[in-house]
Every structure is written in C-alpha cells, then in structure tokens.
Amino acid sequence: MSARNWGTELDLSWISKIQVNQPAVLRRAEQIQARRTVKKEWQAAWLLKAVTFIDLTTLSGDDTSSNVQRLCYKAKYPIREDLLKALNMHDKGITTAAVCVYPARVSDAVKALKTAGCTIPVASVATGFPAGQTHLKTRLEEIRLAVEDGATEIDVVINRTLVLTGQWEGSDFIKTSTGKETVNATFPVAIVMLRAIRDFFWKTGNKIGFKPAGGIRSAKDSLAWLSLIKEELGDEWLTPELFRIGASTLLSDIERQIYHHVTGRYAAYHDLPMC
C-alpha cells in the first residue's frame, strides 16, 4: 500500500493505556451480524461495491502459472458481462481491488494482467508467510524480490514475538489475520482494530487502512463488513485505498447473488465458472 504515515512518532504511553470493554464489543458484534441486510437493487449495488474491495487471492501450495492467469482474468472480469448490462453497470470498469499471490507467482500475475491490458495491482504475501518466523534478512529479501518482479503491494506478516514483548511498529494497513489460522477475521476483533484506527486518526490525522482476511465467504458476510466500516470509520474509508477484503471464494457467492437478482433464479455452478 502507499505510504501515508512515515515520520509519525509512536506514542507507546498512549498505547499502554488502552483498555477494551469486552462485553460491549461482543454486543456490538452481535448487533452487526444480526442486522437484516439491504434488499433488491440496493443489495445489488452494495455487492458490486464489495467486489471493488476484494483482494482476489490464491495462496495454495499447488499454485501454477495457469491458475494464477485464470485468477487475474477473473479479477478483471469479476461479474459476467450480461449481468452487468442488465444492471446498466457494464461500462463502469468494475474490477477487484487487487490480486494477491505468493512471491514466486508475482511475475505470473504481472504478465497475465499486462496481457489482459489491465492495471489491477499485484499484492504479495511475504516475510515468511504465514508464521513470520524467519530471519529479518530473509524477510527483507523476500520483499525485495517480490517488488522486483512487479508487486506493488506487500502483505507483511509481522513477527508476533515483537508484539507480545511490546516492540511495536507503525503500518499503513492492518490486517486481521493471514487467513491460514483456525480462527481468522472475526467481528469482535475487527471492532477493536477499527476503533484503534479511528483513535489514531483523531490523534494524528493519519488514516490507516484495514483488511479482514480469512473465512469471509458469503455475500451476506461482505455486506456486514461494509456496514461495519461505514458505521465505525465513515464513508471516507469505503475506498480500496483504505479498505480491502482478502478472499478467494467470496467473489463466487457475490456473483451468484447478482445472478439471482437479475434472473430470479440461482445459478448452477457451471453457469458461473470461477477460477
């Protein structure tokens, strides 16, 4: 992500005074999840907006250049064109926010997007993903190689030992999880993170981005996340520069819901092939 807060002095005394009202956070999370979602054309509009926040991701041990190529094609054409035409949105340039791959697959993604005539950013996990337990020199070299191959965004896995020992560092984006844990993006944790972003903005004037990742699979989930961002941080955070959703299967369900809105029936899997 682009740098925004370089040079801001980190006030550790302020951080050490932070307390979390856990019962209140849990109540707020339940409220968000229990809320009825918008319907009909309003739902379709919000789902199309959700598409533009997705970091379309493949982080499998058997990734190849061919499946990365298909991923990139889907990132450029996330919703079937006839469905977009039915919504009069075919000329709006709707794409995902980025594609996210392992460092070794960055060059494949850059080549595929260039061939498709697309300027979608390529993001890469790095620095010993997903555990972050590698030597600093190795972590930095992994970033350097990913950038050299064309990555413009790096999802850095922090060394959690530093966090647990109070050795904090700054960031332009914060992410709930790697998506490789047993528990990943949850609303209670997200609420705490979003309010920390809000407090930091009030204190310094610097806007920090937020990315939930892992376990976000349904269109309904995506609407809940957008609602949470809107209510906790405001409309100015509803932009790909400040909000992303890390997901590999979410787009499929969003497209199925769009299909249902347009046709009145649910699509079979072969109707909406996903990479």
74 flagged as catalytic: no
Region of residue 213 (phi > 0: left; psi between -120 and 50: alpha; otherwise: beta): beta
Which of the two residues, 161 and 44, has the higher pLDDT score?
44
108 flagged as catalytic: no
On the 0-12 / 13-18 / 19+ scale of CB atoms within 10 A, 88 is exposed
Distance CA 178, CA 238 (A): 22
Continuous H helices in the chain: 12-16, 22-34, 40-51, 65-76, 81-86, 106-115, 136-148, 160-164, 187-204, 219-233, 250-263
- Contact present, 132 and 159 (Cβ < 8 Å): yes
Residue % of the chain over a pLDDT of 70: 95
pLDDT of residue 171: 85
155 flagged as catalytic: yes
Q: Tell the residue number behind the tokens 């806007």, with chain if given.
A: 207
Distance CA 55, CA 61 (A): 18
pTM over 0.85: yes
CA angle 255-257-262, nearest 5°? 95
Catalytic residue among 74, 108, 211, 221: 211
User: In the predicted model, what is the mean pLDDT of the chain?
Assistant: 91
Radius of gyration of the chain (CA): 19
pLDDT at 274 over 90: no
pLDDT digits 0-9 by tens, 124-181: 998 889 888 899 999 999 999 999 999 999 999 888 888 888 888 878 999 998 888 7
CB burial of 114-145 (b: ≥16 within 10 Å; e: otherwise) equals eeeeeebbbbbbbbbbeebeeeeeebeebbeb
CA distances (Å), origin 8, targets 4, 197, 208 = 10, 14, 12
pLDDT digits 0-9 by tens, 97-106: 999 999 999 9
Catalytic residue among 55, 155, 172, 221: 155
pLDDT at 115 over 80: yes
Catalytic residue among 175, 207, 221, 253: 175
Provide DSSP, 258-270: HHHHHHSSPPPGG
